Amino acid sequence: MYEFRPPTVDRRMSHDHRDFLWSRVVYKEGVTVVKTTAGTYRQEQLHDTNATDIAVVYLGGHVSRVSDAEAASLTNAGYGAFLTAVTP
């Protein structure tokens, strides 16, 4: 059993450098990882809930428990750094 924490990206409160204080505030935003019915993975900021090719959605900013087989699949897709082994 594993926990999957999807990757994050850095966001700024303001890109306007005239606002000195707010332009220095940086926060992490979770990226949603979608597994398609074909077994491939893609990252999305927003996903189409009506899409028919989606098998699993791992919401950014959330922790998901995944099986050993799914962890192996995520590792093969390049997401191994975002997995943590846990005891059930």
Distance CA 88, CA 84 (A): 12
Q: pLDDT per residue over 10-61, tens digit each?
A: 888 776 667 777 777 888 889 999 999 999 999 987 667 778 888 999 999 8
Average pLDDT over residues 73-77: 96
Residue 63 backbone phi and psi in degrees, to 5:
-105, 130
State the pLDDT at residue 53.
86
State the pLDDT at residue 81.
96
State the pLDDT at residue 47.
63
Containing structural domain, residue 46: 2-85
- Counting the structural domains of the chain, the total is 1
Q: Is 55 helix (H, G, I), strand (E, B) or coil?
A: strand
Distance CA 78, CA 12 (A): 26
Tell me the whole-structure pTM to 2 decimals.
0.80
